Structure 1
């Protein structure tokens, strides 16, 4: 199977079809070494044989370039049965070329004409495809003869397929034939190839291979075989197999010494420096080596920024593999001096230049690792911390730094599965009790891998209690332990967890850092967040524009999740997603995807939510972040419930609950209950909806240890009121108002006000209108539509059908935009009861109607597209609009829905 070569296979199919005229009987692929030219030729040979063609294959070799007619001899031998049909001159020329007769070689004109005559004669009995691999290495005589044949093809059913390296000239290009440039594989195709051939590779290793291979299929297939992920430091290029090494090694060996030194400096310096390499490094041999490397096609100058860069990452790996350990240490020493102005890079190169433990260098590396983490370079931060551990003379320092590297890997870079190995290594180095960093790493792994909140909390509390006196707010290890403790308390959702957590938070002096304070005050207990906490949160969110720290960004955005402020962190969160997709902060990429999806749910961007949760859940499964997947499943379940995908929503709730229940993770249980509540509400099953909502938030209370209750104010009040529990509904609406929940965001203000209106028997109409007048409430499409629906229902029951129709029509418009089919159906039922008919917004356009009627007969999208002269994608788009307009969720309901609509229009 060829990945990412669909366009090229189409070209091949068009070329080789027997009996069909071809406007271009010659197809040539060009591309870099290893890009997959030979694989395409192999596929073309199979396709051609299936199509009824005889395949003649010529493979040129560099060492045969001086052998006159060598390649032509290789090809013509297979056609000698047609030789008697040629005239005497051409027979003699072919016989000499094939070594059947003695004599001087024919002239180029005779050789070309004889080759044309023989191939044309052979094609009369069987259509031919001539495949030429590595055309630049053809000997000159064969190349000229074959080019002669290719330019003079007329009626014969004969085709040429040629491959050539893009950097080498060949006779076919000089003869006027255009080449189809074979591009590297895109990221998705490269990943699919790795998954297919190496299914056991971890996602982080696949990312690293993709980064070095840069879409080159040969590199993608060979690098995993050469890679030893446990021994190769993160900062070094991946090792090469012999096949990959041979692509570039000889060119590198042919360079003068100064050029090889220059290339090694380029490899080790990396591409991060903002200045060109000549400005900050000594130039061996006065720059002559650089010029030689450019002439050899190994490096080039970027047109974007003027920097030197390797023409392909494999060259970088080849330079590294051909260097010696001593040469690399010497180069790192040079670089540490060159980057004296950059403490992080200086520390990194110093760490690579020494070969024995060095306490000073280890300390510099630890500082650099923390700085790198805060500036968003999480991969290099982990590598620097590991190197700091290697260079630590003292056992306790080595143990602490290994544990810190394990924690960074789990928390940021997605290396959850590698964490236990590093923690064990750290403990083996420790002389006494595990360090706080080691305990935090273990607790984080237990929580995210096994979901054992109780064990994680016990470990953290015991480790923190062993620290005498106040906890220093500037002690990174202590603050990370507290951050993890807050996370444990959130997922556990139990009062005893929060009380013990707050006892530890009270020990911090002089005061907790911003992110720790906000996670406690505005995420852990949003109901009681005061004005100063909100101002502090808003300032922290505004400040995210100026940071690249993935930990700070995700924690601050999380702090704003229950207060509808994630939208203010979207740009920084997308930066983390982009970094994760490049192999950086992958664990934080998952969190960012779900935070963005959280904002999408309330803002009504449900199609994007589905894409983001798909990506996040795939990463969770690949990397083993079972607990982290829960928010993604929850959000997807809410949208599935609202869009009528009941089975998928119920399955998501069941998955969450089955995992959460034995671990007593009450917040996850709340996720499952909310999804099931949302499955009941649009269908009017209010008794069941009330039970699910009340299991999260007991009537009239907002518990500080279960902040999720803040999201169910309106759900609980509506379910209680509609199931005949007016006292409970009034009690909860009043509790939300007394707690000041409406002041926390415009969405919560809308919902709290609507809850109060729903239970007010006297002034409900004015209060609903006030709720819908909430500034900024238009952004919350789903919630606003729900309020309009409930208001419309009240108006209809209050004998105001005309006003009810206005509200219900507005609600339908919002639900249709979201494709919230069950909610559309509920609103339409109310609209009909209020004397309304099918509105213009509900009518199908002529093209939608045509598509829907054909789909109702059982035709596929492709068959409909053919009948209506549309693309299958356009058909799919029309159907996605038809379903909510008709209030259905599947094709199976189309026929009945169309008949019902026709009946309503007649009435």
Structure 2
């Protein structure tokens, strides 16, 4: 199976149907070494045989380039059965070329004519395909005879299929035949090839290979083999197999010694990623060594940037592979001096130049690792920490640094599977910070494996307790252990876990770091957050525009999840996703995707949610991050439930429960109950919906330290009132109002207000109207539509059908936009019961009418949003509904359409 070659295979199939006077009898593929020319010729031979053609083939060999007629001899042997039918001069020429008769080699003219006579004779009984691989290595005599043949095949049933390396001279191109350039395969095809041939590769390794190979199939197939037995994170240059090294060894070997030395210097300096190649040359005189590399096709000038760059990333690896360890250490030592004013680069190169343990260099690398992580370069941060461990003279320092590298691999770069191997080396030195760092990595691995929440918590608290005295907020390993403890407590979903964790937080000697404090206050127990927590959270979210640290970005965004603030971190989260896709913090890429899905659910961008969760869950499956996948499965399950995919939603809930039960992860059980509650509500199965909602947080309580209780207040109250439990519903509303939930976000204000309306028999209209008037509530499309639906139902039952139809029509519009089929059906049933029809939904709602009138005056979406206290996105959504309702295609037609609509109504 050839990946990414559909266009070329179609071209070959069309070519096989040639032979007419108008079609070319020659198809020439040209491309770089390893791009798949030979594989394409193999496929072409099969296509030819299936089409009833005889296929004969020769492959030119460089070491036979001086052998007269060597390639032609190989080609004509399968055709010698037609020899007796040729005239004597052509028969003798072919017999001499094939070694059947003695005699001087025929002249070029006779050889070409004889080859033409032989192939056309063979083609009398069956069409013929001649396949030639590696044309530039053809011996001159064979090449001239084949070029003669190619120019005289038009109108025959003989076809010539040729492959040549693009960087070498090609006699068929010189003869006037156009080359079809065989481009590298695209990223999707490269991924499919790697998954097909190497299914065990982790996603980040596969992505790194894909990025280095640049679509070269040979590199895609050989690089995984070169990585076998390579533990830990990937290095800056990937190891090459012998085949790949040979592709570039000749070119590099022919270069002057000074040029090879300069290229190694350039590779180790990390040029092309942070500086121009010219800028990292140590001396002006050194630039004189660059032209030979350009002439050899190793370097090229990028016309867009004006910079020199390697023609292919694998040349960098070949330069590295073909150098000695001593040459590399010498180059790194020079680079350390060259980067004396750049602490990060200096430390990195000192570390690579060292040949014996050195605590000073190890300490520098450890500090650089932290800087790199905060700058967003998590892969290199892990590599720096591992090198620091290797250079550590003291066993306890080595153990601590290896444990830290294991933590970075598990929680940041996606190397979950390699963590146990790294941690084995720390077991003999379980003291101090080494124990804390090791426990952090092990706890995370435990949660994603067969361990339970209690075991992970005990592991962390034991490591922290073994460290006497106050906890230093500047100690990164200790603070990471505390933040990991937050997530253990979150997934456990039990108050006693948080009580134990807060005892550890209280040990911090001075102020608890901001991220940890926000995770504790805003994420751990959002129902008890106050205005000061909201203020601190929003300031932290605003500060994310100034950082590239993927850990900080995802954790601050997580702190805002239950308080509906993830949207404020979208730009920063997308930066984390982009970094992960470039091979950076893959684990944080997963978390960022699922956080974006969280915001997509509540803002109604469900198609984007499905894309984000598909990518995130695929990475989780490939890397083994089962627990990390839980929020994504939950969000996807909610959308499946809302869109009527009941079996998929129920399956998601079941998977969450199966994982949660033996590990006692109550938050995952809450996820499952929430999904199943949402499966029941649109169908009016309120008794069952109530049981699921109350299993998360019993009526009248907001379970402490269970953030999920905040998300099901409206669901529980609606199910309670509609199943005859008005006392329970009232108690729950009272608990929500006492906690001040409505003050935490516009979405919660909308829902708590609507919940209070359901339990207020006297002022329910005013309470619903107040809830729907919440500034910014239009952003929460699905929740607002559900409130309008419930309000419309109440109005209908209170004999206000006209008012009911307004809200039911608005809800119906939104449910249709979201493709929420069960909710659409429920709204439509209620609309019909209120005396309306589907056509009522085509009338403009009051808010749509207001948007339309302002848009007709020429205001932009942003200006309209400011006038009506909406978001520009909500204005855009309204306009997308308004245009089809009015039967128009653009804003320019709004004024006339509104006038016609008004005339019809009068």
What's 1:850 paired with?
none
- Provide the C-alpha distance between the structure 1 equivalents of 2:400 and 2:277, rounded to a whole number of angstroms: 36
Contact 1:782 1:815 in 2 (8 A): yes
Structure-2 change in CA distance of 1:722 and 1:24 (3 Å): farther
Counterpart for residue 817 of structure 1: 817
Check 1:21–1:742 CA distance in 2 against 1; reply closer, same or farther (3 A cut): farther
Pairwise mapping of residues 37-436 of structure 1 onto structure 2 (< 5 A)? 37-101=37-101, 105-230=105-230, 234-271=234-271, 274-283=274-283, 286-430=286-430, 435-436=435-436
- How far apart in 2 are the matches of 1:748 and 1:699? 17
Alignment correspondent of 1:707: 707
CA RMSD of aligned residues (A): 2.3
Shift of 1:365: 0.4
Task: Give, in whole Å, the separation in 2 of the partners of 1:769 and 1:233.
Answer: 57
- After TM superposition, give the deviation of residue 196 of structure 1 in Å: 2.0
The aligned runs of 1:386-785 (5 Å cut-off) are: 386-430=386-430, 435-785=435-785
Alignment CA distance shift 1:229-1:749 (3 Å): farther
Cα displacement string for residues 546-578 of structure 1 (whole angstroms, at most 9, x for unaligned residues): 111110000011011111111111122112112
Alpha-carbon distance, 1:597 to partner: 0.8
Distance in 2 separating the partners of 1:732 and 1:67: 93
Q: Kindly state the Cα deviation for residue 614 of structure 1 after the two structures are TM-superposed.
A: 1.7
Q: 1:811, 1:827 within 8 Å by CA — same for their partners in 2?
A: yes
- Structure 1: unaligned runs, 5 residues or longer: 844-880, 886-907
Q: 1:131 touches 1:160 (CA, 8 Å); kept in 2?
A: yes
Which deviates more from structure 2 when the two are superposed, residues 36-45 or residues 439-448?
439-448
Alignment partners' CA distance in 2, 1:790 and 1:475: 52
1:898 equivalent in structure 2: none
Asked if the contact 1:18–1:127 (Cα under 8 Å) also holds between the matched residues in 2, the reply is: no
* Matched residue SS, 2:687: helix
- Asked whether the 8 Å contact 2:528–2:739 carries over to 1, the reply is yes
Quote the Cα distance in structure 2 between the aligned partners of 1:139 and 1:222: 30
Q: By how many angstroms is 1:360 displaced?
A: 0.4
Cα distance in structure 2, aligned partners of 1:549 and 1:450: 30
Distance 1:447 1:522 in 2: 23
CA–CA distance in structure 2, aligned partners of residues 371 and 754 of structure 1: 48
Note if contact 2:810-2:841 (Cα within 8 Å) is conserved in structure 1. Answer: no
User: CA 1:737/1:430 → structure 2, altered by over 3 Å: closer, same or farther?
Assistant: closer
What secondary structure, in the 3-state scheme, does the structure 2 residue paired with 1:55 have?
A: strand
Alignment deviations for residues 391-436 of structure 1 (CA, whole Å, 9 cap, x no partner): 1111111111111111111110111121122222012245789522
**3-state SS of 1:472 partner:** coil
| Residues 785 and 810 in structure 2, CA contact (< 8 A), matched pair in contact too | yes
Paired residue for 1:847? none
Following the alignment from structure 2 to structure 1, what is the Cα–Cα distance between the partners of residues 691 and 562? 23
Structure 2 unaligned spans of 5+:
844-880, 886-906
CA distance in 2, matches of 1:137, 1:409: 47
| Distance change (3 Å), C-alpha of 1:106 and 1:294 | same
Task: Give the CA deviation at 1:107.
Answer: 4.5
After superposition, the Cα gap between the structure-2 partners of 1:505 and 1:745, relative to the gap in structure 1 and judged at 3 Å, is: same
Judged with a 3 Å threshold, the aligned counterparts in structure 2 of structure 1 residues 789 and 632 are, in CA distance, closer, same or farther, namely: same
Query: CA separation in 1, counterparts of 2:175 and 2:494?
Result: 78
Partner SS state of residue 161, structure 1: strand
CA contact (8 A) 2:222 2:240 kept: yes
Q: Contact 1:604/1:781 (CA < 8 Å) preserved in 2?
A: yes
- Describe the shift of the 1:38–1:458 C-alpha distance in structure 2 as closer, same or farther (beyond 3 A): same
CA distance in 2, matches of 1:13, 1:772: 63
Question: Against the structure 1 CA distance between its residues 176 and 748, is the aligned structure 2 distance closer, same or farther, given a 3 Å change threshold?
Answer: farther
Range that drifts further, 26-35 or 116-125: 116-125
In the TM superposition, residue 147 of structure 1 has moved relative to its aligned partner by 2.8
The CA distance in 2 between the partners of 1:6 and 1:480, in whole Å, is 49
CA deviations 1:507-556 (Å, max 9, x no partner) are 22321111111111111111222222211111111111111111000001
What is the CA–CA distance in structure 2 between the aligned matches of 1:432 and 1:334, rounded to whole Å? 37
Instruction: Please give the alpha-carbon distance, in whole angstroms, between the structure 2 residues aligned to 1:564 and 1:178.
Output: 60
Distance 2:512 2:272 in 1: 34
**Greater displacement, 141-150 / 524-533:** 141-150
Tell me the number of residue pairs that the alignment of Structure 1 and Structure 2 aligns: 845
Aligned 8 A contact 2:21 2:155 in 1: no
* Partner Cα distance (1:221, 1:440) in 2: 36
Query: TM-score scaled by structure 2?
Result: 0.89
Q: In the aligned structure 1, how far is the partner of 2:691 from the partner of 2:24?
A: 71
What does residue 10 of structure 2 align with? 10
| CA–CA distance in structure 1, aligned partners of residues 73 and 405 of structure 2 | 62
Distance between the aligned counterparts of 2:338 and 2:652, measured in 1?
55
| TM-aligned CA deviation for residue 185 of structure 1 | 2.4
Q: Does residue 826 of the first structure (1) align with residue 826 of the second (2)?
A: yes
Confirm or deny: 8 A CA contact 1:17 1:48 kept in the other structure: no
CA distance in 2, matches of 1:342, 1:796: 72
Q: Secondary structure at the match of 1:450?
A: coil
Q: Report deviation, 1:216.
A: 1.6
CA shift, 1:70, in A, is: 3.0
Residues 733-778 of structure 1: CA deviation (Å, up to 9, x unaligned): 2322232212222211111111122222222223222222222222
How much has 1:232 moved relative to structure 2?
7.7
| Structure 2 Cα separation of the partners of residues 772 and 611 of structure 1 | 30
1:81 & 1:532 partners in 2: Cα distance? Answer: 94
Contact 1:60 1:134 in 2 (8 A): yes
Deviates more, 1:626-635 or 1:5-14: 5-14
Aligned-residue offset at 1:467 = 2.8
Do the aligned partners of residues 754 and 151 (structure 1) sit closer, same or farther apart at CA in structure 2, a change above 3 Å counting? farther
Aligned equivalents of 1:440 and 1:77: distance in 2? Answer: 69
Structure 1 residue 35: deviation in Å?
1.0
Classify 1:198/1:364 alpha carbon distance in 2 versus 1 (closer, same or farther; 3 Å).
same
**Counterpart-to-counterpart distance in 2, 1:516 and 1:429:** 28
Q: Say which SS state the counterpart of residue 671 (structure 2) adopts.
A: helix
Per-residue deviation, 1:841? 6.4
Contact preservation (8 Å) 1:281, 1:338: no
393-402 vs 210-219, greater mean Cα deviation: 210-219
Cα offset for 1:275?
3.1
Once residues 593 and 779 of structure 2 are traced to their aligned partners in structure 1, the CA distance between those partners, rounded to angstroms, is 20
Contact 1:281 1:335 in 2 (8 A): no
In structure 1, C-alpha distance between the alignment counterparts of 2:674 and 2:375, rounded to whole Å: 38
Taking the aligned partners of 1:205 and 1:279, their CA distance within structure 2 comes to: 30
Q: 1:233 to 1:809 in 2, by over 3 A?
A: closer
Contact 2:436 2:478 in 1 (8 A): yes
**CA distance in 2 between partners of 1:324 and 1:229 (Å):** 21
Whole-Å Cα distance in 2 between the matches of residues 273 and 314 of structure 1? 15
Q: Which range moved further: 103-112 or 725-734?
A: 103-112
Cα separation, 2, equivalents of 1:543 and 1:20: 69
Alpha-carbon shift at residue 447 of structure 1 (Å): 2.3
Q: Distance in 2 between matches of 1:61 and 1:424?
A: 51
Render the CA deviation track for 1:363-409: whole Å, top value 9, x for unaligned: 00000011111111111111111111111111111111111111111
Partner Cα separation in structure 2 for residue 132 and residue 232 of structure 1: 44
2-side partners of 1:272 and 1:101: how far apart? 59
SS of the aligned residue for 1:471 comes to coil
Q: Which residue of 2 aligns with 1:903?
A: none
